[in-house]
A and B are shown apart, each in its own frame.
Chain A
């Protein structure tokens, strides 16, 4: 574990905090406020867990982005899953999904009223369940960004090899770059720089962010999830901003290559093709998702059971969409902590362990009393 401790060294952290403070002051002297979007839910959690917001100067603000795959799942997807459970399918899912609100219900309620919903830690569990229940249909809730997509799609690969036919995927895979593009194109949202995801970048490569730096003049820094990674990343962004530069900087070079992971990319291309995807709170973003290619229709739950996913209904007061887009701080949402809590989540940002609202509720010391429009 010394490898982890090296990235949590308090003395080095102090140095970074000092550098960040100096650069923040220099920017403040120019009358500049800096809005950095941390794209990934794991960054949001790490920032909360290590109290990093507290260490930053007043004019440097971290805004949480849409990078939690659970949070951006549309209610219609949950509705479709519940309908499949109602037809007798076993639903296999990652844990966070079981409390995500659908239009009228969620998977926890579905399980209480007799639906067979099983929480898995690994996609390979889907094959095991399918083999031990050969008389039942197993539907794996296939959500996730680039990092998660390859292991999940390996279910199809394994099923084909093992001759397992009673397993399928209900896909809602999402891609990070199209969402980042949509956010920059939205003139209502102020984003000065992207702190780019760690693990997603390991798959897609740091080159995926080059268009944002070139077309929108937005510094993009790829950073790991350890506290020093994040401080180093913020420091790198401020340095670029002071010099009025905008380039992609890969500070997570111990894992991320410019071209990413070609093997993983090839595997994705083999099984999946781009589709338009619904992002909760954002809406449909063209070609921002991946679905199974037609030749794998037998493993595509929507096609196999003839049950297409429709866009669902959200709670009227829920402003998760604005939170996901970085337009609203969680605490400015009228539902936050009064109606919507981790025990009774109304919106997906409160459900997932990596959701922005959950992170604020769980860790925030300072922000809870302040206003939230960004």
Chain B
């Protein structure tokens, strides 16, 4: 039986969704709309008595105070939006599995279902059917995951609408196919491309050779595989190899052999693995010297010993491709997915904090090509996804940034990270170590498996275009995961499992495959895997990336207790098989073998790639322009630029203080609305220790030189930490980094590919150089190499293909222990009469600056890039940082802020309007080395600088501490709420009201 419960706001009650939709339609399309009314529709496909239905309406679906059961509606146009079959409908599944059983005290059957849709009833006489279709597809729904039904009132009167359930009608028969690899090279490539396997020819040939080996064939015969598979891989095997060997899982470019040639210096060298040479080996060396790194670069996340009691576990991932196609689903899956990394590290960590970093096209973009979502939609959807994912999991956001550039229109970047903690020891054992032993039982915990997310790993290793596959898109379910993580932490503390890892990219093939390395083998049965719906072939079950699942290894004697606790917590756990010391990755479907691979071949058989990299310095036009006359106006415009303006409207929607641990919040100042340089949070209740979190990023420097880009962002992350009162790393001070690369390599070994690889080499060299200089160990990182978009255009009747690449994008994250949070400092000025200092030297380093971008756009409609990119002098920077730490330790500072994008001008303005007091400053006093121009001094983005305020009575002590550094008192905090800056000629260059400046900063992305 089918029931449809249609719920609306009572007349007179506010229909917030309707009102907001009306506003969105008006601002997006400029249509005239009289009203939009919305209805929530719950469709139930189940056997229910009349009385049961009434009970559900009364006690569950309708809020009797403000809502009512709607019957006939009137409207001009009707749009109904609902999920396509197979897409996760979280509300529908909660209704079916939790809400209805709580009332009826019985479970709905597997083939019964509840699904939700939203109706938009639009009143407007101006709209045509085509307009309404655009509203439906461009604004309200994403056709990749949602179905849209559009009807006019007249049509609706004529014929009754039919609503069908989005159920997947699974096929009955199960197929296991063989792949014939004994074919030509072209055929091999075709098999890889058509199967979205993302394997290159050499890899396909290696696989072919393996399956033709005599001993392999003998062994396959011996265990009784079907004859068809004796010398050919099954679909499950080929898929499993493709997942395990994917760029996403194996980081093939980072581990390749690179012939690098630097045309600038003439130097040539052979690099055997960028990752080992520049990241892992140097980091391990630094980590060994410092002593507190517990685990780096081998588990799902890195771990450091924070104090005698706890380890901090940290990981950042990207989820770019899915977010480009379905921003909400891609992003929520991104955050909920990275949550499982700390959860699956060591014995399993408790999740503490989330972070994000996004790169988008301008939300004010006018037109986008077909097949590309509008950047505003991507931005809104990505934010909403990470907001829901974090908020619903009860994990506060402690850091988030956005960067805008038109190239990200085609390929947004979505970084999501999670910090966790775990006790140093659990039940007497070090928590960061784990092991699966032969005989341990393989148990899958959490959500069920469907077709969603098949080929996620190989898909993210391929470039996007209009025809990109959509089954890789899924929607995370934070509540299912929260229940699972609560349960697993309980099981961990009872010592009920020995080893744990998450099901992410590659699904079971990766999770079981990885854990099987501890004991060299496993055997499990895919038929036992609980499915969302019937009809999945074994290979699909093996590689499906359905979310919210962990795999654990349980000792046989503890299985019963594990399953019992799981049941009590409402979490599904299923025995799939066991680990063994067989040297084989053995997968069956019932009693039929569907995969039988040598563990060694699976994990070590991947041939290394050999690549070429050639560095040739690009030369950009050095901008030549007059200094703007109206500097008040210039500062205002700079404050309103996308890469500088306030992002408060979005930031506020992230819960940033659940758990009650925040000490320096995301937003600070008199009105709590200006971002802090870094945030600080307690990790334990009742302690005075805290964890500081900050990031550095600036893809605009990459175009000039990725070496200095990397140096600059490492310095940015560090000085943000120093600014809130942190200290450089030492044996006693935990301070670690994470590196997350998003690169843009579409073809290897082409001229363009060689250059982009050289850019990657330079970034890695800087990472090694500056981590060594500042003694910061990286403990975890990730790379996403193929952030390009194939744009197919028709120019003069000819079809052309253009590759659009993102600028090389690197996020460097810094985390530091704060020993006494009461001595931290924030960026806002706090008291009139305080003295304002600038620390560090300013150069005319405007290459890649926001000011050059602005001037270029203003003068010629295209940003200037320039060549003089900011550099980092690590030795003088370290001296400054030590002195600043001494000053904050002695509580001499009232405020401190480090200039980043927009330089001193923007930093001074933000500092003043955050604090609510004015400033009087003289640019002549700023330590500066360069061409004598006010605008250069104001907007240069030189590194390693601070602006800070000191109460006058602390002047002497402060200056004594700073004496070996370059510093200068440049002005004073004033009561009058104005920013007054004297220029190099001694006249007032800027004299602006703080309210005015703040408005300019808030308007761009305000409400």
Q: Do A and B come from one complex?
A: no
Which residues of B come within 8 Å of A, CB atoms? none
